[in-house]
Amino acid sequence: MAERAFPAAPVAVYGGQRIIASPFQFSTTDDDNLQIVSANSLAGVALTIQGRRLNEKGSIEAFSFLHIPTSDRVSRTENYKIGGGALLNLVVFASSGAPKIGQTYVSARIIRGLSAATIVLGGLLGGYVTAAQPLAYPGSPIQGSIEGGGVIRSIVGTDPAATTEASETVPTGARWQLLSWSIQFATSATPADRLVRLQLDDGTTPYADVPAPAVQAASNTWRYIFAQGISLTSIANAPNLIQAAPLDLPLLAGHRLRTATTTMQAGDNYSAPTFSVREWLEVQS
């Protein structure tokens, strides 16, 4: 087969100037604007959006906007006026605060309209940012908020009252994966063998129930550890008992991690759990 050559497109001449068409430019009218959607789980974070645009007169203008996301994982949407011409480039970074990857998500779009009803015309960028790791258009891929490795959180839970199960709920706007769960259980003098179980449910219905490797008698204080990376062979070595936790099981907002104790007696008491999770943000725009 004979070789074929495809010559490059010639450089266009416009107004006496040589120009090269770019596949990344967004031509805009005066009705087209920039929309920023953020979700964040860290207090004190501010986002700076900077870039350049070619105005309708052919001059290059720089712009800069400040966006303050909420710190409770609730999405915030804000629109910014950019005007007609062409968007050349855009960069977004955390100018205040020190978020880690997995804590501050941002997406940028071109929209038609500025307030009330708007129409999304195109996506520019999306992903997690830090102070040292920005997102850029063109250049950065558009990633969803549940992509990547998330952020590792170590949490001290609520200390339950006596004869009450320990329970922790995945917060609104979050998705968790359990890495480890550690809790201490003190039994009263009432005779009975208690069996501690770690239970996962959707707020009502259990879908995972992991029993400890041994029962605990009266008048004992034992620590229970459920963790990923442990073999299926559990370790029943009181006062510390170790059991494998479910692997790669997503916990959505409203789902619970809780103890479920067989034959719990009056006066039995759990400590506050300490646990580690991998967290992603569930962005709702």
Where exactly are the structural domains of the chain?
Answer: 25-137, 151-281
Q: Which of 89, 93, 96 is nearest to 71 (CA)?
A: 96
CB 60 within 8 A of CB 54: yes
What's the rounded mean pLDDT across residues 168-182? 97
| pTM of the full structure | 0.86
- pLDDT at residue 173 greater than cutoff 90: yes
Average pLDDT over residues 165-189: 97
Q: Does domain 151-281 have CATH number 1.10.10?
A: no
Q: Model confidence at 24, in pLDDT bands (50, 70, 90)?
A: low
What pLDDT is attached to residue 237? 78
CA–CA gap between residue 159 and residue 86 (Å, rounded): 57
pLDDT tens-digit readout, 31-60: 999 999 999 999 999 999 999 999 988 899
Residue bearing the bigger pLDDT, 213 or 176? 176
| pLDDT bracket for residue 3 (50, 70, 90) | low
Contacts of 208 (CB under 8 A, 6+ apart): 199, 200, 246, 249
Q: Are 212 and 243 in contact (CB under 8 A)?
A: yes
> Residue 19: is it exposed, middle or buried by C-beta count within 10 angstroms (0-12/13-18/19+)?
exposed
Residue 247 pLDDT? 86
What's the mean pLDDT in 2-12?
A: 49
Residue 72, pLDDT above cutoff 60: yes
Q: Which pLDDT score, from 0 to 100, does residue 152 have?
A: 97
Query: Other C-beta atoms within 10 Å of 172: how many?
Result: 12
